[in-house]
Amino acid sequence: MKSYLFLLFLTVNFSSLSAQSYDNTVILDMQIAGGKTTMIDYNGKVIKVFSAEEK
C-alpha cells in the first residue's frame, strides 16, 4: 500500500510538468511546494529554481 501511494504521488507531481526549450536544452519545468518552480534537465540536474515572485 505504501508503494502505491508513492507512485500516486509521483503521478500527481509529473502531471504538472511541461517541456520547454532553454539554452538549446530541453528541460522540465516542475512546480514544487511553496509556489516555487524547479527547472531541471533530462539528467536530473537542477538548472534554476524560481520563487513565486519570479514567475
pLDDT digits (tens, 9 = 90+) for 10-55: 444 444 455 555 554 555 566 666 777 777 777 777 777 777 666 5
Per DSSP, the chain holds a count of helices (H) and strands (E) of 1, 4
For residue 19, being part of any structural domain is answered with yes
Total domains in the chain come to 1
For residue 15, being part of any structural domain is answered with yes
Residue 32 is part of which domain span?
2-50
For residue 38, being part of any structural domain is answered with yes
- Within 13 Å and on the Cβ side, how many CA atoms surround 9? 7
For residue 7, being part of any structural domain is answered with yes
Q: What is the pLDDT of residue 24?
A: 47
Spatial CB neighbours of 22, under 8 Å, sequence gap ≥ 6: 39, 47
For residue 6, being part of any structural domain is answered with yes
Indicate whether 5 pLDDT > 70: no
* Spatial separation of the C-alpha atoms in residues 40 and 34, rounded to whole Å: 17
Alpha helices in the chain (DSSP H): 2-14
For residue 55, being part of any structural domain is answered with no
